[in-house]
Copies of this chain bind each other. A is one copy, B any other.
């Protein structure tokens, strides 16, 4: 089981408050995406809404995945003033959040 590359994925599951407008949600997602150009160790960002059919998503409505070169990069990101300011705004819009980081690993079964 080898790591595919030197990268760490930072996965955020969020449940937005139900009374938010579409515009407000879009604005905060654009703000999240904008962090890529403001915080050096953050290399990539993508997101999506829950489309699962198993009802095992525990109410989470959105997935946000960003990529870093290392766990040290994530630590730098978390404490970066621009992220702290963003996170304060973001958290105010959420009912709940889950954050998990992992190093993508593939399985060689051959």
CA distance A71 to B49 in the complex (A): 13
* B34 & A53 in contact (Cβ 8 Å cutoff): no
* Binary flags per residue of A77-109, CB closer than 8 Å to B gives 1, else 0: 010000000000000000001111111111101
* B107 & A47 in contact (Cβ 8 Å cutoff): yes
Contacts of A1 in B (CB 8 A): 26, 29
Which residue of B45, B54, B62, B100 is within 8 Å of A107 (Cβ)? B45
Is residue A39 within 8 Å, beta carbon to beta carbon, of the partner chain?
no
* A99 & B26 in contact (Cβ 8 Å cutoff): no
Closest 9 CB pairs of A and B: A48-B102, A33-B107, A56-B99, A52-B101, A57-B100, A63-B102, A46-B104, A48-B103, A51-B101
